[in-house]
């Protein structure tokens, strides 16, 4: 009788041991593995590696995801000004994983305060919104959007979000390939006065900047 009870105890212990091994293996094998393109905790993806790295560095310094996004966007406005910049607007979509809540900060461009609702009726060709020039510019909201997002969700100081891009600009930056292609596009006219952005940023130069030359934008 005692022998039978001993066998039962041994079988139970073996079963528990086997179950423990199985559970351990399942836990180990189902853990996510980080390959070069996946990240366990966080990632920053801007449209250039330089700006992505700036956002990553902000996270590593203890910044919030919003801090990282703002720093990466500031960098992008310098390296790819044809896509975005302080003269435009921004929309933040912020997801709080703890609460499941989604928050949207809309800082898109707006019409001037005293804008006339029938202004387009006085234009020679009111529906030609693709016409070159600055006729259709709105009041920028980009910087105010950054400020509001930082007030709500920032951890690092406001100036620390600009410092990486200031450091990048101090020795000058090379004109990226995409920006060079954009500036040299045959459909663009770079005569000062017609495309005011180029005349202002590059002090009225009558030729388009090309890829790689070192370019200083210290006024930014």
User: Angle CA(139)–CA(144)–CA(136) in degrees, nearest 5?
Assistant: 15
Report yes or no: 92 and 69 within 8 Å, Cβ to Cβ.
yes
Helix axes 65-79, 49-60, angle to 10 degrees: 150
Instruction: Write out the binding residues.
Output: 108
Report yes or no: 154 and 66 within 8 Å, Cβ to Cβ.
yes
What is the rounded distance in angstroms from the CA atom of residue 189 to the CA atom of residue 183? Answer: 9
Within 8 A by CB and 6+ apart from 129, the residues are 136
What is the rounded distance in angstroms from the CA atom of residue 139 to the CA atom of residue 141? Answer: 7
Cα–Cα nearest to 181, from 160, 209, 161: 209
Instruction: Write out the binding residues for L-glutamate.
Output: 108
Report yes or no: 135 and 164 within 8 Å, Cβ to Cβ.
no
Q: How many CA atoms lie within 13 A of 116 on its CB side?
A: 6
What is the rounded distance in angstroms from the CA atom of residue 217 to the CA atom of residue 83? Answer: 17
């Amino acid at each position: 009788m005692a022998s039978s009870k001993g066998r039962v105890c041994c079988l139970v212990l073996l079963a528990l041991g086997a179950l423990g091994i199985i559970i351990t293996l399942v836990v180990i094998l189902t853990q996510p593995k980080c390959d070069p393109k996946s990240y366990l905790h966080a990632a920053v993806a801007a449209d250039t590696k330089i700006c992505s790295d700036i956002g990553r560095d902000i996270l590593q310094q203890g910044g919030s995801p919003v801090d990282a996004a703002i720093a990466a966007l500031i960098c992008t406005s310098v390296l790819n000004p044809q896509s975005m910049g302080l003269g435009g607007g921004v929309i933040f979509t912020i997801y709080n994983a703890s609460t499941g809540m989604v928050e949207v900060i809309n800082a898109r461009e707006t019409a001037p305060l005293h804008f006339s609702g029938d202004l387009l009726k006085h234009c020679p060709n009111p529906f030609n919104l693709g016409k070159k020039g600055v006729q259709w510019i709105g009041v920028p909201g980009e910087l105010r959007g950054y400020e509001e997002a930082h007030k709500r969700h920032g951890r690092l100081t406001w100036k620390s979000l600009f410092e990486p891009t200031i450091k990048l600009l101090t020795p000058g930056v090379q004109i990226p390939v995409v920006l060079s292609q954009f500036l040299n596009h045959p459909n663009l006219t770079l005569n000062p006065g017609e495309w005011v952005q180029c005349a202002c940023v590059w002090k009225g130069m009558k030729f388009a900047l090309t890829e790689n030359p070192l370019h200083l934008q210290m006024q930014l």
